Amino acid sequence: MEILKVDNVFKKFGDKIVSNHISFSVQKGKIFGLLGPNGAGKTTLLRQICNIFTPDEGEITLFGQKMSPELQNKIGYLPEERGLYKKSKIIEQITYFGELKGMTHKDASEKAYFWLDKMGARGWEIKKVEELSKGMQQKIQFISTIIHSPDLVILDEPFSGFDPVNTELLKNVILEMKSQGKTIILSTHIMSQVEELCDEVCMINNGDAVLYGSVSKIREKYQRNIIHIEYSGNIDLAGFENVDVINHSDGNITFKINDNNFDKRKFISMINDKTDIIRFAIETPSMHEIFIDVIAKSNKN
């Protein structure tokens, strides 16, 4: 079932195009990654999905309908710029956000205590936001985002300010929400989290969608273009075409192949003529490497 459809969305501010005819869809129960460097247009697109901004052209539909106040209550949006009231007590603030989304005071209060327990934040309820660290505030912001059990959860850099322990806690909560049939849009710069969590991604650069598809299909497309060689002795790198050295230290070298028709066996044989190969591996690049490669090529166009 299609939860979200972004159809040919175009948006500009002044002379700057921030969404250049972008299209994608998100299916129910999936984690969808919205990726890109700083200033790529991700946050503006998220705000259009939430109806904070409206597209100049194109259409966004949620749950098969055009945006309405009723649909907005089915969304939980965690913005990159946090929006907590620094002088308010934690329990009062979370409960208030629940009531804004249509919950009764009693239900919102009960859910607030449930999530404070789950997020390891019980005991903070009478503290004020200004008394909390950045990571602690991030937990409260997250709880305020999902307090009303939204069907679509939009998270813009949700791991910001978290240490490794709390990062793992939040990842487990996100995966648990997915198992419950919730749909999550995740915007993050950390590609290892994309590999762990996301089913599909759309990568944006300078307002353009430069990569879109399932993580597995994208990695399959880029598969086997990295060759890692462990060697003994010296190595002469002269004379190799259609390959880039992306890492080189004593006894280890990693090449990136730039030609789909490249003869890997011949290449390895040529290396073996120049030095003694101890071990070699033809590897699939990580999403981090794919991200850098796609953005670099996009910037050249």
Do 268 and 173 lie in one domain? The reply is: no
Q: Identify whether 34 is part of a domain.
A: yes
Spatial separation of the C-alpha atoms in residues 219 and 229, rounded to whole Å: 21
Domain membership of residue 291 (yes or no) is: no
162, 181, 214: which is the final residue of a domain? Answer: 214
Q: Please indicate, yes or no, whether residues 112 and 254 belong to a single structural domain of this protein.
A: no
Tell me: do 185 and 276 sit in the same domain: no
- How far is CA 168 from each of CA 21, 132, 224, 294, rounded to the nearest angstrom? 35, 20, 30, 28
Structural domain that includes position 173: 2-214
pLDDT of 78 higher than 90 = yes
* Residues 33 and 90 grouped into a single domain: yes
Averaged confidence pLDDT in the chain:
90
Residue 224 has pLDDT above 70, yes or no: no
238 and 172: one domain?
no
CB 229 within 8 A of CB 270: no
The answer as to whether 93 is a domain residue is: yes
What total of structural domains would you count in the chain? 2
Residue where a domain stops, chosen among 214, 238, 260: 214
pTM of the shown model: 0.83
Q: Please state, in angstroms and rounded to a whole number, the distance separating the CA atoms of residues 17 and 10.
A: 8
In this structure, are 253 and 193 located in the same domain?
Answer: no
The lowest-confidence range among 64-68, 113-117, 170-174, 249-253 is 64-68
Q: Which of 214, 238, 258 is the last residue of a domain?
A: 214
CA distance 46 to 31: 15
Look up tokens 């390959």; give the residue: 243
For the chain, state the CA radius of gyration.
Answer: 23
The verdict on residue 13 lying in a domain is yes
Other C-beta atoms closer than 10 Å to the C-beta of 3 total 21
Tell me, yes or no, whether 293 lies in a domain. Answer: no
173 and 271 housed in the same domain: no
How far lies 93's CA from each of 74, 86, 137, 139, 158, in Å?
19, 10, 12, 13, 19
* Whether residue 231 sits in one domain with residue 204: no
Question: Does residue 89 belong to any structural domain of this protein?
Answer: yes
Indicate if 137 and 243 belong to the same structural domain: no
Whichever domain contains 159, its CATH number is: 3.40.50.300
> Looking at per-residue confidence, does 170 or 237 come out higher?
170
Residues 200 and 54 in one domain: yes
Q: What's the whole-number mean pLDDT along residues 22-43? A: 94
294 found inside a domain = no
Residues 202 and 156 in one domain: yes
What digits encode the pLDDT tens for the residues 136-163? 889 999 999 999 999 999 999 999 888 9
Shared domain check, 73 and 196? yes
Domain-embedded: residue 166: yes
